[in-house]
Amino acid sequence: MTVVRGRQFFQNPGPTNIPDRILRAMDRPALDFMGAEFRAIAEECYAGLRHVFKTDQAIIAYASNGHGAWEAAIVNVFSPGDRVLVPETGYFSLNWGNLAQELGLEVETLPGDWRAGVDPEAVEARLREDKAHTIKAVMQVHNETATGVTNRIAEIRRAIDAARHPALYMVDVISSLGSIDFRMDEWQVDVVVGGSQKGLMMPPGMAFTGASQKALQAAQAARLPRVYWDWRKLVTGNRQTAFNGTAPVHLFYGLQEAVRMLAEEGLDHVFARHRRLAEATRRAVRVWRGNDGPEIFATDPRTQSDSITTVLLQDGQDAEAVRSVALDRFNVSLGGGLDRLDGHVFRIGHMGDLNEPMILGALAAIEMSLAVAGVPHGKGGVAAAMEYLASERA
């Protein structure tokens, strides 16, 4: 067996690198989750989350992954047969829609270009057609982790308003929260779905839904069955006051440290750091595009994601071979292609606890892996990334 030294460069789009500070914060004995000491920790966590979600409304935390929070969002606001509009952006939008369908909703997919993201005009046009207001909600993904496309939430909000449509606006921020600016209150998002294991730099196992007053009202009338996820049992006013069963105490310890770290750096700086590392990545890929090499999957510069870059190989090239070389030979872990992109793309996660030398190390390993795997590409991608990072002030 080959002995591997040094840290693995973990460029997966979730879970992401967990800072030692967060790991150490969790290295503590358990605590009575009904007691005052735990309550104080939880309160600090909720306040920190409200800061990151940019909201003063309810945030409900669960022991769960993102799929659970997806389900919580649906069962709390809908009744059987309700119609929802799901703008298609890729694997995660389709899967959230599938989950809604299995729970008994009528799901209408708004076809979309996976490489460009949601067209606000198409949303507006569809909602204008719905004169009887049969569409109860627009459910969409902010940052489509499969494609590396970030949708323009503020513009889609304006599209809903322009159509004068009362639909709830529901947004999955699982791979944008804590990495890319998101403003629940300003953009009037009614239900927000988040998870712990990406921009919040935490282990998987905790998930959240943000709920506006309008969403909490909808929860009173909704008729889908719910027990574990039931906001009516968890929320008093607009604050979570109860947990169903044992609270995940250690995840709260970690979250307390995570929200402190985000506040300490300052959200604007967190977003700027992600933008800088993402831009360095994009510059490298643009150079690799030479010689008929791979390209950035997201075609519209306005929607290229600052938390993940999906890299599309040309026909006949195998993205999995590049990923295998990166992992087996250079100890760099990358994300693979999902759904119809399987084998055609690899994904470079650049979210969470990451800095310049980490991304440069990963990019260097990828450039070497392209060469080892025999994938034609332009040389000098890493140099272009270095040049950009050296010229760009933090």
Residue ranges in contact with ligand PLP by CB under 6 A: 14, 65-67, 92, 141, 145, 172, 174-175, 195, 204
Which letter does DSSP use for residue 290 in this model? G
Which whole-number Å values give the CA distances from 255 to 26, 33, 195, 263, 274, in the listed order? 9, 15, 11, 12, 20
Q: At its nearest, how many Å lie between ligand PLP and the CB of residue 92?
A: 4
Query: How far, in Å, CA of 131 to CA of 165, rounded?
Result: 8
Q: Which is nearer to ligand PLP, 146 or 373 (CB)?
A: 146
Q: Is 56 exposed, middle or buried (0-12, 13-18, 19+ CB in 10 A)?
A: exposed
Q: Which is nearer to ligand PLP, 130 or 181 (CB)?
A: 181
Q: At its nearest, how many Å lie between ligand PLP and the CB of residue 332?
A: 19
Question: How many CB atoms are located within 10 Å of the residue 113 CB?
Answer: 15
Q: Reduce the secondary structure of 44-108 to three states and give it as a string.
A: HHHHHHHHHHCCCCEEEEEECCHHHHHHHHHHHHCCCCCEEEEECCCHHHHHHHHHHHHCCCEEE
Q: At its nearest, how many Å lie between ligand PLP and the CB of residue 347?
A: 10
Question: How many CB atoms are located within 10 Å of the residue 360 CB?
Answer: 18
**Residue whose pair of structure tokens reads 């030692």 in the numeric block:** 20
Q: At its nearest, how many Å lie between ligand PLP and the CB of residue 53?
A: 15
Q: Which is nearer to ligand PLP, 82 or 172 (CB)?
A: 172
- Residue 42 has phi, psi (to 5 degrees) of -60, -40
* CB-closest chain residue to ligand PLP: 66
Q: At its nearest, how many Å lie between ligand PLP and the CB of residue 88?
A: 14
Q: Which is nearer to ligand PLP, 97 or 381 (CB)?
A: 97
Q: Which is nearer to ligand PLP, 76 or 93 (CB)?
A: 93
Q: Which is nearer to ligand PLP, 66 or 293 (CB)?
A: 66
Using left for φ > 0, alpha for ψ between -120 and 50, and beta otherwise, residue 227 falls in alpha
Answer for the pair 141, 92: CB distance below 8 angstroms, yes or no. yes
Query: How far, in Å, CA of 198 to CA of 17, rounded?
Result: 8
Q: Which is nearer to ligand PLP, 92 or 346 (CB)?
A: 92
Q: Which is nearer to ligand PLP, 330 or 346 (CB)?
A: 346
Q: At its nearest, how many Å lie between ligand PLP and the CB of residue 129?
A: 28
Q: At its nearest, how many Å lie between ligand PLP and the CB of residue 208?
A: 11
Whether the ω angle into residue 87 lies within 30 degrees of 0, i.e. cis, is no
H-helix or E-strand spanning residue 286: helix 267-288
Q: Which is nearer to ligand PLP, 174 or 382 (CB)?
A: 174
Query: How far, in Å, CA of 170 to CA of 149, rounded?
Result: 18
- Residue 366 has phi, psi (to 5 degrees) of -70, -40
Q: At its nearest, how many Å lie between ligand PLP and the CB of residue 327?
A: 19
Q: At its nearest, how many Å lie between ligand PLP and the CB of residue 145?
A: 3
